[in-house]
Structure 1
Amino acid sequence: MKIGSFQWMKSLNRSIILNKIRTDGPISRAKIARETKLTPPTVSSLVSELIESELVIESEQGESLGGRKPTMLVINSGRFYVVGLDVGPKTIRGVLVDLSGILIIKEDCPIPSTITKEELLILMKEMVSKVVSSHSEKEVIGVGIGMHGAVDVESGTSLFAPILNLRDIPLKAELESEFNVLVKADNDVRAMAFGEYWYDREQQCENMVTVNIGHGVGAGIVLNGKLFHGEYDLAGEIGHMTVDMSGRLCSCGNIGCWQTLISGPAIAETAVDLLKHGATSQLREMVNGDLSKIEGKSVYEAALAGDKFAIDILQKTGEYIGIGLTNLVHMLNPAKIIIGGGVSDASEFILQQIKETLAKRGLTDQAKATEIICSSQGVYGTAMGAAALVLGEIFEGSSSPVN
Structure 2
Amino acid sequence: MVIYGIGLAMHGIIDNDEGICLFAPARRAEEVPVAKAISEHYQLPVRMDNNANAMALGERWFGNGKGIDNLLAIKVGQSIGSGVILRGQLFSGSHYSAGEIGHVNVLSDGPLCTCGNYGCLESVASIEAVVSKGRLRMKRGEDRELLALTGNDPDALNFEILRNAAELGNSLALHLLSEVGTHLGLALANTMNILDPTAVLIGGEILPVIDLVLPKMREIVTARSFRILKNKVVIEKVGLGQDAVAVGAATLIFEDLFQP
Structure-1-length-normalised TM-score: 0.60
Q: Distance in 2 between matches of 1:202 and 1:278?
A: 44
Q: Distance in 2 between matches of 1:228 and 1:250?
A: 25
Corresponding residue of 2:111 = 248
Among 359, 362, 369, the residue aligned to 2:232:
369
Contact 1:153-1:233 within 8 A present in 2 as well: yes
> Does 2:134 match 1:275?
no
From the superposition, tell whether residues 332 and 189 of structure 1 become closer, same or farther in structure 2 (CA, over 3 Å): same
Which has the bigger relative contact order, CA under 8 A and spacing at least 6? 2
Q: CA RMSD in A?
A: 2.0
Letter in 2 for 1:272: R
Contact 2:25-2:115 within 8 A present in 1 as well: no
Shift of 1:267: 1.1
Corresponding residue of 2:126 = 263
SS in 2 for 1:155: coil
Q: Distance in 2 between matches of 1:311 and 1:304?
A: 8
From the superposition, tell whether residues 157 and 286 of structure 1 become closer, same or farther in structure 2 (CA, over 3 Å): same
Q: Distance in 2 between matches of 1:166 and 1:323?
A: 29
Shift of 1:380: 2.6
Structure-2-length-normalised TM-score: 0.91
Shift of 1:237: 1.3
Corresponding residue of 2:211 = 348
> Does 2:33 match 1:170?
yes
SS in 1 for 2:257: helix
From the superposition, tell whether residues 145 and 282 of structure 1 become closer, same or farther in structure 2 (CA, over 3 Å): same
Contact 1:217-1:239 within 8 A present in 2 as well: yes
Q: Is the helix fraction higher in 1 or 2?
A: 2
> Does 2:65 match 1:205?
no
Shift of 1:362: 2.1
SS in 1 for 2:5: strand
Report matched runs for 1:4-403 at 5 Å: 138-200=1-63, 203-397=66-260
Percent identical = 29
Q: Distance in 1 between matches of 2:144 and 2:240?
A: 32
Structure of larger gyration radius = 1
Q: Distance in 2 between matches of 1:309 and 1:192?
A: 31
Q: Distance in 1 between matches of 2:64 and 2:157?
A: 40
SS in 1 for 2:178: helix
Q: Distance in 2 between matches of 1:248 and 1:296?
A: 20
Contact 1:362-1:368 within 8 A present in 2 as well: no
Q: Distance in 2 between matches of 1:310 and 1:340?
A: 20
Contact 1:281-1:307 within 8 A present in 2 as well: no
From the superposition, tell whether residues 281 and 319 of structure 1 become closer, same or farther in structure 2 (CA, over 3 Å): farther
SS in 2 for 1:326: helix
Q: Distance in 1 between matches of 2:195 and 2:224?
A: 15
Corresponding residue of 1:63 = none
Shift of 1:312: 2.0
